[in-house]
Amino acid sequence: MPSAADIGRTFAPVTAVVEAGRYDFFLKVTGEGNPIFRSDEAARAAGFRGRPVPPTYLFCLELMDTPNPFGFLDELGIDIAHLLHAEQRFDYRSPPCIGDAVTFRTRVADVFEKKGGALTFAILDTEASAAGLGTLASLRKTLVVRRPEATA
């Protein structure tokens, strides 16, 4: 179970490439039809370096090439059976484009309890960056963990 002692904790960085095949599959399954995501010409005409990632794609990209995508849960002592992904936020500076190698660096920003300790909230901040491009986006996820004895 995460605790205040975990605040500031960092996890091993993860690097993943925005690969065209996976990107196009994401567009297909989400039904995304905006031309800037589907056409290099439309993306460039809109001022992008290439086809930019859709707003929520970074959440998937961070997990796709990680050998153990939920290893951070193990490191924080979180049983997935008691976990709720409560919120996800993306603050883009410059969206990654196809071909970019994006490195994700995550740290625990805050941990606090509510409902008399029945719920533990863990706030994780992730910086997504690429060589030569700097910070592309900041991600924030809020996880809620129910104390096991509170689930009965």
**Cα–Cα distance for residue pair 90/128, rounded to 1 Å:** 10
- Split at pLDDT 50, 70, 90, the class of 132 is very high
Handedness of CA 39, 45, 46, 51 (dihedral sign): positive
Handedness of CA 94, 97, 103, 109 (dihedral sign): positive
Do residues 79 and 120 lie in contact, with contact meaning Cβ atoms separated by under 8 Å?
Answer: no
**Cα–Cα distance for residue pair 131/12, rounded to 1 Å:** 17
pLDDT digits (tens, 9 = 90+) for 29-70: 999 999 999 999 999 999 999 999 998 899 889 887 778 888
CATH of 4-150, one of 3.30.420.40, 2.130.10.10, 3.10.129.10, 3.40.50.720: 3.10.129.10
pLDDT digits (tens, 9 = 90+) for 115-128: 999 999 999 999 99
